[in-house]
Structure 1
């Protein structure tokens, strides 16, 4: 069962009323979800059983029932504590969690599989919750506050449940499982990024508080000014994405590596919301979605490449840049000096810093990128088609040759000029 089609669990709770605090909005939305928590938990249980291998190794009726009971109790407890203002660290983990542990171990399962199921279920629940809240809250600042408050609440609840699972397992079944070395967040991330390193992905998911088996989008956040809070920017991007969880690591000079993680591949609408989120004084390289450990590493490398290419621009400014929009520029600008000479040779006087010439370069590149269609270029640039026609004529005059006869060379040179001299990529 796919959560994306769960219109039956999206509830009409009414829009935020005037004077309502974010905490009151959160409680109202949670109360509405609590009324249908059985439907929510049934959907999550079905998805978890389908996607978390080894959770019920023998497929016994009792073990499957334990999954449903545990999920139902956890979902109900989370919405109840949110709805009635009960601190998340004041609620005891449901008894169904211990029953599920006993059945899993009896079926020769492992506690790390249970922990992965918790992370996966948390991702599904957050996806449904954030979609519901977004439908009820129209104001972006209030939406951000409500989601930030509820995210902290849910993380605390799930973390306490996972800690209880581990402690119960060690107390009751410790002799069955050899001690595992403790790894820090930084060590775990670096292990995941190295192809030749063996990694226990269930343990890594626990350390990083995200499901390594899910879908990931890597982000590299690099500040352009002293004192910029990249953590706050990362939080805003996560909220815009509707991501349930994600690993983060500060790597020096104020730069942060971050990952957005979902239980299923994010749609283009989510990715566009991330791309369009303002990031004042922070360059954010954004990778493309990837699944599992390999996707975690690949999307991160793409994000690093996007951030590097963006910083080549001498007029660099804050914002999110997707890898797919600068991939060609990155390939062409591996040797920056050589790339610059190539652009100067191919573009002639169309390479100057004059703002009018920059506008001509932009128009010509958009025209070439859109199949040499003037009408489409006009739509992208938000100008009249006659304006595009005039600019193209001016650009050709500065080139000194018909660009239609050298489309590949001219297009590559324009891409290099855009990366090194100014302008944001059009997506």
Structure 2
């Protein structure tokens, strides 16, 4: 019985093979009609036809010649089409859908061919089941290979595209005397409006995970501004992004901060919005300084760092030894990192920001006014003089301690 069924399957395959050119055209037309991603230009369409034809030929040969599934591989034309699909940033889901639709259409053709053989019902059903099983097994095996080909090409193409874009962006950032028109041509985007730069980074981890985290960070930035960013991969754990708009970019800081809390592995540093080509560069330098402040580790739990909040510290961060020595001269033992001294520094910062108002400072800190008064007097004792002396130096030194973490280790100086 098995040999007889194999013979029926071969006859059906030969019937399909005789009209394969016409059937290939019908299948490719179906793909174009049903799947939007298959509406290619002429060059890619020819490759799509070749891919479809090669798969159909392979299935027919498998059925007609009883070729083992162990010998089935992705046909070269189908492999190249999968690579081209990835290069054009078309979805893998669309490609896999075509394989399943094509499988269904092929089985329908086989059933039509079997009907023309005028077989007994049992034989026709058995042969149909056999063809459907073999065709499904072929599609499953080829799809596994197609997925690998697509994903490998997507990674390779993304890396190449990112490398090219990164080189162009770096040139715009670093080339002196570059005019606006040339910069816009290099980036294929207008630089005449406003720009907001962000540096997005994540901690060490598997490359695939880091890439997914960085994409999530870029998506959060887009949601918080309502604009799609220009992004490039600076390295495996870092992404640079620019939000551009005709007017000053509108950033929902609260939303961005809230969304970041759900992604503890992510950090984002933001520059100040700035216009034009110079602004494109300046906001990025701002973001770099904000990231440098974050890198000191003074506030390791801070996921979102705005340059506007750390601008002064950003100017000081490249001179930490000198800043530490100077702040030590200004603050003396107020530079220690024990809990009581940290509390005194925090109180002084709030008190000075409140323009010397004990009442206002107490309200901000949610403590009694006498508590603020006591801490201020204690700090003045450690300083050896009133806060009114060298007030600006004291404020800057306190800010450096808070934002750059340049206090003295407990028990040392």
TM-score (norm 2): 0.52
After the TM superposition, which residues 84-95 of structure 1 pair with which residues of structure 2 at under 5 Å, given as runs? none
For the pair 1:255 / 2:256, whether they are aligned, the reply is no
User: RMSD of the TM alignment (CA)?
Assistant: 3.2
Unaligned runs of 5+ in 1: 1-85, 93-154, 157-182
CA contact (8 A) 2:200 2:267 kept: yes
Which of 162, 167, 178 lines up with 1:197 in the alignment? 178
Cα deviation digits, residues 326-370 of structure 1 (max 9, x gap): 111122333211111111221122111112321221221222234
CA contact (8 A) 2:231 2:240 kept: yes
User: Alpha-carbon deviation of 1:289?
Assistant: 0.6
- Secondary structure at 1:317 match in 2: coil
Which of 209, 212, 221 lines up with 1:237 in the alignment? 221
Name 1:40's counterpart in structure 2.
Answer: none
* Alpha-carbon distance in structure 1 between the residues aligned to 2:330 and 2:381: 13
User: Alpha-carbon deviation of 1:382?
Assistant: 4.4
- Secondary structure at 1:259 match in 2: strand
Name 1:322's counterpart in structure 2.
Answer: 306
User: Alpha-carbon deviation of 1:277?
Assistant: 4.8
After the TM superposition, which residues 20-419 of structure 1 pair with which residues of structure 2 at under 5 Å, given as runs? 184-194=164-174, 195-198=176-179, 199-204=181-186, 206=188, 211-227=190-206, 228=210, 229-242=213-226, 244-267=227-250, 270-271=252-253, 273-274=255-256, 277-278=259-260, 280-419=264-403
- Secondary structure at 1:356 match in 2: helix
Cα deviation digits, residues 76-135 of structure 1 (max 9, x gap): xxxxxxxxxx9986899xxxxxxxxxxxxxxxxxxxxxxxxxxxxxxxxxxxxxxxxxxx
Larger Rg: 2
Q: Which has the higher helix share?
A: 2
From the superposition, tell whether residues 331 and 281 of structure 1 become closer, same or farther in structure 2 (CA, over 3 Å).
same
From the superposition, tell whether residues 326 and 306 of structure 1 become closer, same or farther in structure 2 (CA, over 3 Å).
same
User: Alpha-carbon deviation of 1:378?
Assistant: 3.8
Name 1:47's counterpart in structure 2.
Answer: none
CA contact (8 A) 1:313 1:422 kept: no
CA contact (8 A) 1:219 1:259 kept: yes
User: Alpha-carbon deviation of 1:384?
Assistant: 4.4
Cα deviation digits, residues 37-62 of structure 1 (max 9, x gap): xxxxxxxxxxxxxxxxxxxxxxxxxx
From the superposition, tell whether residues 186 and 333 of structure 1 become closer, same or farther in structure 2 (CA, over 3 Å).
closer
* Alpha-carbon distance in structure 2 between the residues aligned to 1:417 and 1:356: 15
- Secondary structure at 2:396 match in 1: helix
